[in-house]
Amino acid sequence: MSEGIFIGLGAPDKDGGVRQLLNLRRANRHGLIAGATGTGKTVTLQGIAESFSALGVPVFLSDVKGDLSGIAMAGSPTAKNADKLVARAAEIGITDYSYADNPAIFWDLYGQQGHPIRTTVSEMGPLLLARLMGLNETQEGVLTIAFKYADEEGLLLLDLGDLQAMLAWCAENADSLSARYGNVTKASVGAIQRQLLQLESQGGAHFFGEPALDIHDFLKVDEKGRGYINVLAADRLMQSPKLYATFLLWLLAELFETLPEVGDPDKPVLVFFFDEAHLLFDEAPKALSDKIEQVVRLIRSKGVGVYFVTQNPIDIPEDVAGQLGNRVQHALRAFTPRDQKAIKAAADTFRINPDLDVETAITELKVGEALVSLLQEDGSPGIVQRTLIAPPRSRLGPVDAKERAIIQSISPVAGKYDEAIDRESAEEILAARGDAAAAAAQADKAKLEADKAAAVQAKVEAKQREAQLKEQARQDAVAAREAAKPSAVGKAVESAARSAASSVGRQVANELGKAVFGSSRKSSGGGIAGKLVRGILGSLFK
């Protein structure tokens, strides 16, 4: 095992220049590379990264300006400033300096300059998404409820379409969700949806989906035992600083949750270099800053070293800066009060060197020169030294399109992430449920309309039957009356019978009268009595 990574040659002492070595067993205690623009931060980062790779340690670095991709190619004696690099190597005692390439994998959230990097909405979680979209506390609470409900119902949130569908469902069912989880308003849901549209317009849709990144693909070594250097193309990503910062934080959190505890290994499992690190902390709410500090503090035990690269050391919050044991400070300019404050803050973080005025030295450092303090074997910080930084052996400058295509074609993950996968998830399930509900509603409506039509028809038929019954009753009554009337023959017989009866009656009565009262017509009494009897008997025979 190498004694460490040679950072550069410090100020001479009685035994000559002090070799500044980054102890591999302390490399997971994190670090800081700071300095003004043009002072050599990127070259320092490149040299340290390729040294880690040579020792079998995988590296991840963000290529903000596009020039770190050259780490995959060997340097050239005909390149610009090649003579200065050779001279620097000789000056600091590197006797075996030669150009060399490094195994590299190119990544790009947009899938244009490298393999796509994707994660799912569920893996990102509501906290980081809220940070990404700039949500307030109330909106973040609603987003958390949406995640909670999706988890309970087994609804996979994979891409932004899934989250949009979930939020639309929450808006439609705000009352029931409020009763179960707390206040959910359509206004808050609408605000989140608008932020999602902005995120999508910034290219965020490329980041969410499947296949999701397998974090172990960052931990590969090549056939020579060299760690792969994972280069993230971040030049376009920098145009969406919230997405950049959230992605880097998610990556750290994912590593922390995935990797096992290893304590302090002989060498790191992985080393991260975060360029433009201030973007992680700009306008970050306290909850997110606490999350960053927690991850940085704890991920050390997973064997992961995190190195922040930034212009101004005070860009890093104190709670995080206190975790950074290895420090390389390039020149700072004292043009403004903030610059002066940064110089003093940087000077105060170093272990005092009685032979060096740190505050003055920070403003006098030349390009490729830095103040360096590294952790010793016992974990204590070394005395700060003014140091000439060792030159990298790979190309200083970007690869061209042809070189990038070749490197990507032989990548160990070629073809694994290049094509997106869209499997059934919340969007499809909720759409199916909506279609089923709509179909059921349509069926219910059709049944209701059919029942209504049947009722109307039944009413019409009932009225028709009632009319028919009334008509039948009327006809029956008429028939009955007609049947009750005697016929013409009957009437004639009846009339004849009455006439005959009347005639017989009168004759009987006359005869009876004569027998009773005699036939004398002169007797008034007999005449009256005879008439009376004849009348009675005549009535009886009618």
The tens digit of pLDDT for each residue in 240-273 reads 888 888 888 889 889 999 999 998 899 999 999 9
Instruction: Calculate the average pLDDT of the chain.
Output: 87
Which tokens sit at 279?
């973007």
pLDDT at 128: 86
Q: Specify the range with the lowest mean pLDDT, choosing from 313-317, 326-330, 356-360, 516-520.
A: 516-520
Q: Judging by beta carbons within 10 Å of its beta carbon (0-12, 13-18, 19+), is residue 224 exposed, middle or buried?
A: exposed
Would you say 379 and 373 are in contact if contact means Cβ atoms under 8 Å apart? no
Averaged pLDDT, 159-179: 92
Averaged pLDDT, 477-506: 69
Which tokens sit at 131?
């940070």
The tens digit of pLDDT for each residue in 46-82 reads 999 999 999 999 999 999 888 899 999 999 999 988 9
**Residue 275 CA from chain centroid, whole number:** 27
Task: Count Cβ atoms below 10 Å from residue 528 Cβ, excluding itself.
Answer: 10
How far apart, in whole angstroms, are the C-alpha atoms of residue 28 and residue 33?
A: 15
Q: Residue 517's pLDDT band (boundaries 50, 70, 90)?
A: low
Closest listed residue to residue 16, CA positions, set 501, 483, 385, 519: 385
pLDDT at 512: 56
Give the length of the chain. Answer: 542
Q: Residue 479's pLDDT band (boundaries 50, 70, 90)?
A: confident
Crossing angle for the helix pair 241-258 and 286-298, to the nearest 10 degrees: 40
Say which DSSP state 506 is in.
Answer: H
pLDDT at 1: 47
The tens digit of pLDDT for each residue in 182-194 reads 889 999 999 999 9
Q: Judging by beta carbons within 10 Å of its beta carbon (0-12, 13-18, 19+), is residue 252 exposed, middle or buried?
A: buried
Closest listed residue to residue 42, CA positions, set 214, 300, 360, 276: 276
Across-strand partners of 108?
Answer: 116
pLDDT at 205: 86
Phi, psi of 346 (to 5 degrees): -65, -40
How far apart, in whole angstroms, are the C-alpha atoms of residue 461 and residue 434?
A: 39
Averaged pLDDT, 167-181: 91
Q: Residue 102's pLDDT band (boundaries 50, 70, 90)?
A: very high
pLDDT at 16: 60
Q: Which residue has the higher pLDDT, 498 or 30?
A: 30
pLDDT at 473 over 70: yes
Task: Count Cβ atoms below 10 Å from residue 229 Cβ, excluding itself.
Answer: 27
pLDDT at 439: 86
Would you say 316 and 349 are in contact if contact means Cβ atoms under 8 Å apart? no
Q: Residue 521's pLDDT band (boundaries 50, 70, 90)?
A: very low
Biggest CA pair distance of the chain: 200
The tens digit of pLDDT for each residue in 125-147 reads 998 899 888 899 999 999 999 99
Indicate the pairing of strand 270-275 with strand 31-34. unpaired
Averaged pLDDT, 202-228: 93
Say which DSSP state 52 is in.
Answer: H
pLDDT at 457 over 70: yes
Predicted TM-score of the model (pTM): 0.79
